Chain A
Amino acid sequence: MVQINLPKDSEIKKGKYFKDKTGSKNLRKVNIYRWDPSTGENPRIDSYEVDMDNCPSKVLDILNKIKNEIDPTLAYRRSCAHGVCGSCAMNMGGKNGLACTKPHEEIDGDIDIYPLPHLKVKKDLIGDLDGLYKQYQSIEPWLKNNSKSETNEIIQSKEDRAKLDGAYECIMCACCSTSCPSYWWNGDKYLGPAVLLQAYRWIVDSRDEERNARLKKVADELKLYRCHTIMNCTSACPKGLNPAKAIAEIKKMLATANI
């Protein structure tokens, strides 16, 4: 259901203010969403003054700097730092993206950092993505081919292989799904852009023999047709993919195919 306001226990309170101690002239204020599961208190926004003279270019660098030099209690996920693993997906300056590829120069004014929207928060910037992974599992993201042989190659033409471009690059960072208002209100049933893009990836794979069964599976008022082409997903994707278009292609296939 559409719920505009946050529940009472999720309302955000004002938090601590960490004043700059380096004496730098080039400061930026960074506001970060904090929630500590051990206290039972509401989430809060902590503000940090960060010395930008000694900080590399990405938002993740700011977070590392804060954790290393100002406040070691800050919790966030990160791993590769090169936009490949998808761990550091979060909401920066009102838009989802990967902290490791998002230049902080692109954000005007104070830098506001929140966890991915409309998730149960585990701690600070870490959201619970279990629901999304379960949905990913439900589309059975693996090749289904009835070929008996385990040694013969399944040949794919260059043209058929090209159909997977723009779909296979997805790193499942969840930036798109958690940017989608439809997914916020109906995330328990609507599969969301990330999972539907993957569903599309297996539907168009020429080597897969379960195409019709896959199509039938997503052909559902809530699973698929909750997409209203708001385009938040495409504008959020840090890899430049287009989940909205993939969803439209699935809808088109269902409208034209005989299943």
Chain B
Amino acid sequence: MENKRPLSPHIQIYRWHVSSLVSISHRITGIINIIAITLICLWVSLIFINQNNHEIINLFLSSKIGKFIILGLTWSFSFQILSEIRHLIMDLGYGFELKTSKITGLLVMFGSLILTVIFYIIGKNLI
């Protein structure tokens, strides 16, 4: 009898809002960033081994998929930075009112897009 009881639906039916979206995106971008950093380290060590490797990776990164990955990573790092600042402020005990958390969440979302553009332009002009 006890075991036959069904589990009520949860994530399937619960409505998303700004704060929960920022929180889940923070986790996803966090995982992506760790993988990205590992790959970047690998890339750098490959250059040390053989200069030809640099050419191959460069060729890949200038392709359409490569550019998408670069832009995506720029966004995911931008998002992580802003969202982490938001969480740090929350750890200090501020910004828990519903309205404030919504505004800061929206700031993180749109701010990450703006930051992506800024980082991309800076990066492009440096290289």
Q: B-contacting residues of A (Cβ < 8 Å)?
A: 4, 6-7, 9-10, 12, 33, 35, 37, 40, 42-43, 91, 93-95, 112, 114-122, 127-128, 179, 181, 184, 228-232, 234-235, 242, 244-245, 248-249, 251-252
Contacts and interface: CB of A to CB of B under 8 A. Distances in A.
Contact of B93 (A91, A116, A252): A252
Nearest to B15: A94
Interface string B1-34: 1101111111111110101100110010000000
B36 to A, nearest CB: 22
B26 to A, nearest CB: 8
B6 A10 contact: yes
Q: Which residue, A128, A179, A235, has most C-beta atoms of chain B within 10 A?
A: A235
Interface of B: 1-2, 4-15, 17, 19-20, 23-24, 27, 87, 90-93, 96-98, 101
A111 B2 CA distance: 30
B19 A231 contact: yes
B83 to A, nearest CB: 11
B7 A120 contact: yes
Given A40-B4, A93-B15, A248-B91, 17 more contacts: A6-B6, A6-B7, A37-B4, A94-B14, A94-B15, A95-B14, A95-B15, A114-B8, A117-B9, A119-B8, A120-B6, A184-B10, A229-B23, A230-B19, A231-B98, A231-B101, A234-B98
B7 A114 contact: no
A121 B7 contact: yes
A127 B92 CA distance: 35
Contacts of A228: 23, 27
A25 to B, nearest CB: 29
Nearest to A35: B6
A82 B20 CA distance: 29
Contact of A114 (B9, B20, B91, B98): B9
Contact of A229 (B9, B13, B17, B90): B90
A8 B12 CA distance: 14
Contacts of A231: 17, 19-20, 23, 96, 98, 101
Nearest to B96: A245
Contact of A118 (B10, B96, B101): B10
A127 B8 CA distance: 8
A118 B8 contact: yes
Contacts of B20: 181, 230-232
Q: Which residue, B2, B10, B13, B27, has most C-beta atoms of chain A within 10 A?
A: B10
A98 B96 CA distance: 22
B13 A121 contact: no
